[in-house]
Amino acid sequence: MKVSELSTNPLRRKFASGKTAYGLWVTLESPAVTEIAAAMGVDWICIDLEHGALDFSDVLNHLRAAKGTDMAVIARVPASRVDTIKKCLDIGVDGVVLPLINSADELREAFEHARYPTVGKRGLGGERAVRWGLGIAEYIRRANEDALVIPVIETRSASENIEAILDVPGLETIFFGPADLSSSMGYIGEWEGPGVAEDILRIQRSAAKRGIVSGVIGMTPEDMNARETQGFQMIGLGSDGGMLIKQFKQLFGKLKGETYEHNWF
């Protein structure tokens, strides 16, 4: 991945250096989650607007908590529409994660929403990303190549159309949703159903040939090490809520002598 001298996106710089970037999926409202993640040295957080109750105000609060750190803030939008993509970028995120991308045409349209003319059709606003208009010239010089647009590969259709998806101009990073990919292939409730793990590695190798970074959530430290060895450069440690639950399981479950259903995140 090439990085412009104008780039202020810390995640793009880490990708360009060849380093593995570890991140946290944010599902809770409290900006303290982001402050803790930054203090721990996490490389990126992804604020999840697709599931749960978080909204754009929560994105803003998490961004403020991350200000002054070297941690990238990206947001998974609820849908790949102009309003959701544009608003997150205007608030000031370093990139957007796109759910349920099934085809190259869908991804190309999303890129248009995330890029200013003449490359795209993103409207110009005077919001936080441009320092309320005070830094508009600086922002628009770098915005088109600085903000990451990351499709989630999580459907059978995306798997079948992957070569065309990977050839979309400007694509630099993809992220996998193993559970949803399994569900779309008939294995609902399984993290990686029969053949899904192999399919993910097939897609990751094809992306790597194009210089495209692949990301995935790790299940355990051992799984994360294996993912790094496989060539994944963007690895999620899990979610904030999931980490709380795992710790409760470890402590409270033992005290009560109870076992709990496995938690993916």
Q: Tell me: the pLDDT tens digits for 81-115?
A: 999 999 999 999 999 999 999 999 999 999 999 99
Cis ω for the linkage preceding 229 (within 30 of 0): no
Tokens in use for 93?
A: 């995120």
Contacts for 223-231 with beta carbons within 8 Å, 24 or more apart? Answer: 224/22, 228/20, 230/201, 230/204, 231/204, 231/205
The pLDDT of 42-51, averaged and rounded, is: 98
Q: Which of 51, 62, 113, 262 is catalytic?
A: 51
262 has catalytic annotation: no
pLDDT at 40 over 80: yes
> Can you give the pLDDT at residue 247?
87
**pTM for the model:** 0.94
The pLDDT of 150-166, averaged and rounded, is: 98
- Identify which of 64, 63, 83 has the alpha carbon closest to the alpha carbon of residue 75: 63
% of residues, the chain, pLDDT over 90: 88
pLDDT at 122 over 90: yes
> Can you give the pLDDT at residue 252?
81
> Can you give the pLDDT at residue 246?
87
Dihedral through CA 185, CA 238, CA 3, CA 201, nearest 10? -30
Extended strands (E) in 59-217: 72-76, 95-98, 148-153, 173-176, 213-217
Report domain extents, the chain. 10-256
Q: Which fold has domain 10-256?
A: TIM Barrel (3.20.20)
**Residue whose structure tokens are 């309320």:** 132
Distance, first Cα to last Cα, the chain: 29
User: What three-state secondary structure class fits 92?
Assistant: coil
